[in-house]
Amino acid sequence: MADTRADPAAQSELMVEDEPFFSYLDLFLFSLIAGLLVYWIIFRKKAEPIPEFKKLEPQTTRETSFIGKMKKTGKNIVVFYGSQTGTGEEFANRLAKDAHRYGMKGMAADPEEYDMSELSRLTEIENSIAIFCLATYGEGDPTDNAQDFYDWLQEGDADFSGVKYTVFALGNKTYEHYNAMGKYVDKRLAELGAQRIFDLGMGDDDGNLEEDFVSWREQFWPAVCEHFGVEATGEESSIRQYELKVHSDLNMNKIYTGELGRLMSFENQKPPFDSKNPFLAAVTVNRKLNKAGDRHLMHLELDITGSKIRYESGDHVAVYPINDSVIVNQIGDLLGVDLDMVISLNNLDEESNKKHPFPCPSTYRTALTHYLDITNPPRTNVLYELAQYATEPKDQENMRKMASSSPEGKALYQSWVLDSCRNILAILEDLPSLRPPIDHLCELLPRLQARYYSIASSSKVHPNSIHICAVVVEYETKTGRVNKGVATNWLKNKMPTDNGHKTTVPMYIRKSQFRLPFKSTNPVIMVGPGTGIAPFMGFVQERGWLKEQGKDVGDTVLYYGCRYKNEDFLYQEDLEEFEKTGVLTALNVAFSRDQAEKVYVQHLLKKNKEAVWRLVHSDNAHIYICGDARNMARDVQNAFYEIAEELGGMSRAQAGDLKDATRLNYGRYNLST
């Protein structure tokens, strides 16, 4: 072939000959692309209107008007609950059942399921009351199911004139924002014109929450009677809320076997994952952290690959445990029942949104294993309802006495049930005349709740893994029985396998306000003895990751405490490596029992008071505390106050105000059992 590159005439001739060919090709391609584009646009526009999203809204299948439901069923008392662990819901149900004894009719209601703007219409119902049983979660936060109601109250300006209400708050006095949610709703409703008909009740879980509730309730109902001019009916008989249905020929695919919401959801997992749809995370690591001693402290890693679950340092992981099969079988043996009988407990109130006390149909074995709390001491209402089945008059008398508000009854309940840590099995064993029908027992027992653990990892470093640090709970009671924590003992036995069958844990993420500062240059001071170290493992990992990304990171200081250096110094190698590489600016460890005089983290804070004060006062350090809220957190807070008083010349009141300016944060302690 001739080379035409050096011949202008040849080049010109080639261009002339080739021009028509490329022009037709360009035209063809342009026409083809344009045609496809037009077709796609037309097709897309035709397809867009097809989904009728409004028709698919789930609200169409559920009644969202509580006013309409109250009118339809003749109810005049509605008890709303904000509940994270089930206690608020349990108290609401008890108050709703109480109403009949005073010639009234009540219903318990989840504010998440109803249109709360209807509250102003409660005046349309004669002699009506709205009762609120509201728990406070974390650092003064509302529970998940009361979050929307809380936001609406804050933003709205409704007129509640004529609406009558009262509030019982559930909290823990060792936390700074004690009963914040209940206090806020009580105050806000009054500001919006509602009429408080009885004083705010304050329940303290650090003391005796049950006694607080019973005492408040015993005074509340007489006040209601006086307000409306009605009298108690005197009817104290037990009222069943559910009726038993036994299934004999049900397809096994229609029977719940531990699922929390959707049937077969554990076999066919679908995101998003939450409290009603937990993800089955495989356990990839389960190792003992302590080198010696009689306790068992453990580190677990859960694989969340493919789940689309996201978490941040400081969040909590919730796990759903199951009860010990030994206890389940013993209850079945004592009551003489076939635990594998398939049953449903159906609500007698057909209008109720809550059709069953737990997922049904199910077997008694599944209910006692997955759904019901059989290890915590039962509350007084359970004893009262079960008393009718005791054949010994003395047993009946004592059970009813413990459910009363009399000083003798309270003292008996405190000593015989609470102080002796008697669960329902122990009560059945110690009261041979008490043999209730198992269906009524299952109706009365509270739901088995998820256990929350501070996540001990950073998603920046471990995006597909969640780490847990926990201590196994096991102790001997005054009756000589050995009680074991449900979740920690269950987790202890969740060992990874390499035989192709995954060991899994049902879990979901609960978001937290316990967060690293937005600016990485802010110093952080972390105080976390024992398993309180958990969230700080995630914090330190994240600060290290930020350094690797070239970010400027402020001082990262940790105060950790344990009993003995050679026994329970958790994550020792990891922490010492973090210090060696400069991720941890300072690692301060208090070994409380390695010397004659006990040394705790607060002592080390005072020892390093100049450095602490410089970080807090001059460098705007953020302070984080995670651990025993009853003692340690208070002692640590006082140590910071004393440093501010001594080196900052502040009064105690001024030191207290410094708390907000320095971002003093409290984490959830891993008290899950």
Secondary structure in 3-state letters for 643-671: HHHHHHCCCHHHHHHHHHHCCEEEECCCC
pLDDT of 447 over the 80 cut: yes
Q: Would you say 88 is a known binding-site residue? A: yes
- Number of Cβ within a 10 Å radius of residue 418: 13
- Report pLDDT digits (tens) over 7-58: 333 333 333 334 444 455 454 555 556 555 545 544 444 343 333 323 333 3
Least confident of 162-171, 396-405, 631-640: 631-640
Here the tokens at position 135 are 């728990």
Q: Are residues 456 and 603 in the same domain?
A: no
244 forms bridges with which residues in the sheet?
345
The answer to whether residues 241 and 349 touch, using CB atoms and an 8 Å cutoff, is yes
Q: Would you say 475 is a known binding-site residue? A: yes
Residue 658: the pLDDT is: 65
Q: Would you say 305 is a known binding-site residue? A: no
Q: Would you say 201 is a known binding-site residue? A: no
- Number of Cβ within a 10 Å radius of residue 12: 11
Q: Would you say 170 is a known binding-site residue? A: yes
Measured in degrees and rounded to the nearest 5, phi and psi for residue 195 equal: -105, 115
d(C-alpha 82, C-alpha 167), whole Å: 11
- The whole-number average pLDDT for the span 648-663 is 74
Cα-to-chain-centroid distance, residue 1? 81
Q: Closest Cα partner for 114 from 144, 145, 86?
A: 145
- Of the residues 444, 465, 485, the one at which a domain ends: 444
Q: Are residues 528 and 458 in the same domain?
A: no
Q: Would you say 488 is a known binding-site residue? A: yes
Q: Would you say 452 is a known binding-site residue? A: yes
Q: Are residues 412 and 553 in the same domain?
A: no
B/e letters for 573-592, b = 16+ CB within 10 Å, e = fewer, are: eebeebbeeebbbebbbbbb
pLDDT of 4 over the 50 cut: no
Q: Would you say 188 is a known binding-site residue? A: no
Tell me, yes or no, whether 242 lies in a domain.
no
Tell me, yes or no, whether 596 lies in a domain.
yes
Residue 508: the pLDDT is: 97
- 570: helix, strand or coil: coil
CATH code where residue 107 lies? 3.40.50.360
Tell me, yes or no, whether 517 lies in a domain.
no
Q: Are residues 667 and 558 in the same domain?
A: yes
Kindly indicate the confidence band of residue 230, based on its pLDDT and cuts at 50, 70 and 90.
Answer: confident
Q: Would you say 138 is a known binding-site residue? A: yes
The answer to whether residues 551 and 520 touch, using CB atoms and an 8 Å cutoff, is yes
Q: Would you say 205 is a known binding-site residue? A: yes
The answer to whether residues 105 and 55 touch, using CB atoms and an 8 Å cutoff, is no
pLDDT of 168 over the 60 cut: yes
Q: Would you say 203 is a known binding-site residue? A: no
Tell me, yes or no, whether 519 lies in a domain.
no
The answer to whether residues 84 and 206 touch, using CB atoms and an 8 Å cutoff, is no
Q: Would you say 246 is a known binding-site residue? A: no
Q: Are residues 75 and 140 in the same domain?
A: yes
d(C-alpha 180, C-alpha 141), whole Å: 7
Q: Would you say 486 is a known binding-site residue? A: yes
Amino acid at the residue 492: K
Question: DSSP character for 418?
Answer: I
Question: DSSP character for 200?
Answer: P
Q: Would you say 173 is a known binding-site residue? A: yes
Residue 8: the pLDDT is: 36
Q: Would you say 600 is a known binding-site residue? A: yes
Residue 32: the pLDDT is: 56
CATH code where residue 656 lies? 3.40.50.80
Q: Would you say 598 is a known binding-site residue? A: yes
Q: Would you say 451 is a known binding-site residue? A: yes
Residue 510: the pLDDT is: 92
Measured in degrees and rounded to the nearest 5, phi and psi for residue 624 equal: -125, 135
Please state, rounded to an integer, the average pLDDT across all residues of the chain. 89
Pairing between strand 242-247 and 342-347?
antiparallel
Q: Would you say 599 is a known binding-site residue? A: yes
Residue 156: the pLDDT is: 81
d(C-alpha 314, C-alpha 526), whole Å: 12
pLDDT of 332 over the 90 cut: yes
The answer to whether residues 73 and 102 touch, using CB atoms and an 8 Å cutoff, is no
Q: Would you say 362 is a known binding-site residue? A: no
pLDDT of 321 over the 80 cut: yes
CATH code where residue 309 lies? 2.40.30.10
- Alpha helices by DSSP H, 62-142: 66-73, 87-98
Domain that holds residue 612: 524-671
Beta strands in 25-72 (DSSP E): none
Residue 535: the pLDDT is: 97
Residue 5: the pLDDT is: 37
Residue 26: the pLDDT is: 52
Q: Would you say 454 is a known binding-site residue? A: yes
Q: Say how many domains are in the chain.
A: 4
Q: Would you say 663 is a known binding-site residue? A: no
- Number of Cβ within a 10 Å radius of residue 156: 11
- 640: helix, strand or coil: helix
Q: Would you say 413 is a known binding-site residue? A: no
**Peptide bond connecting 58 to the previous residue in cis, omega within 30 degrees of 0:** no
Tell me, yes or no, whether 46 lies in a domain.
no
Can you state the angle between helices 652-661 and 632-648, rounded to 10 degrees? 110
Q: Would you say 295 is a known binding-site residue? A: yes
Q: How many CA atoms lie within 13 A of 214 on its CB side?
A: 20
CATH code where residue 371 lies? 1.20.990.10
Q: Would you say 592 is a known binding-site residue? A: yes
The answer to whether residues 503 and 495 touch, using CB atoms and an 8 Å cutoff, is yes
Q: Would you say 137 is a known binding-site residue? A: yes
Kindly indicate the confidence band of residue 627, based on its pLDDT and cuts at 50, 70 and 90.
Answer: confident
- Report pLDDT digits (tens) over 483-527: 999 999 999 999 998 877 899 999 999 999 899 999 999 999 999
Q: Are residues 356 and 409 in the same domain?
A: yes
Q: Is 441 left (phi over 0), alpha (psi -120 to 50) or beta?
A: alpha
d(C-alpha 273, C-alpha 287), whole Å: 27
Q: Would you say 165 is a known binding-site residue? A: no
Q: Closest Cα partner for 625 from 560, 542, 570?
A: 560
Measured in degrees and rounded to the nearest 5, phi and psi for residue 636 equal: -65, -45
Residue 103: the pLDDT is: 85
Q: Would you say 531 is a known binding-site residue? A: yes
pLDDT of 235 over the 80 cut: no
Here the tokens at position 228 are 């409306």
Tell me, yes or no, whether 289 lies in a domain.
yes
Q: Are residues 292 and 437 in the same domain?
A: no
Q: Are residues 316 and 327 in the same domain?
A: no
d(C-alpha 41, C-alpha 467), whole Å: 48
Q: Would you say 16 is a known binding-site residue? A: no
pLDDT of 380 over the 60 cut: yes
Q: Would you say 83 is a known binding-site residue? A: yes
- Of the residues 426, 444, 462, the one at which a domain ends: 444
Residue 279: the pLDDT is: 98
Q: Would you say 172 is a known binding-site residue? A: yes
Q: Are residues 284 and 414 in the same domain?
A: no
Q: Are residues 483 and 508 in the same domain?
A: yes
Integer angstrom CA distances of residue 625 from 260, 339, 458, 524: 33, 46, 18, 11
Q: Would you say 453 is a known binding-site residue? A: yes
- Of the residues 212, 228, 244, the one at which a domain ends: 228
Q: Would you say 223 is a known binding-site residue? A: no
pLDDT of 136 over the 90 cut: yes
Q: Are residues 464 and 423 in the same domain?
A: no
d(C-alpha 623, C-alpha 649), whole Å: 20
- Report pLDDT digits (tens) over 578-610: 999 999 999 999 999 999 999 999 999 999 999
Q: Closest Cα partner for 512 from 84, 219, 159?
A: 84
Tell me, yes or no, whether 198 lies in a domain.
yes
Kindly indicate the confidence band of residue 237, based on its pLDDT and cuts at 50, 70 and 90.
Answer: low
pLDDT of 206 over the 80 cut: yes
Q: Would you say 240 is a known binding-site residue? A: no
Least confident of 230-244, 322-336, 341-355, 418-432: 230-244
pLDDT of 345 over the 70 cut: yes
Torsion angle, alpha carbons of 369, 378, 477, 331, to 10: -40
Kindly indicate the confidence band of residue 568, based on its pLDDT and cuts at 50, 70 and 90.
Answer: very high
Q: Are residues 543 and 568 in the same domain?
A: yes
Tell me, yes or no, whether 331 lies in a domain.
yes
Residue 1: the pLDDT is: 39
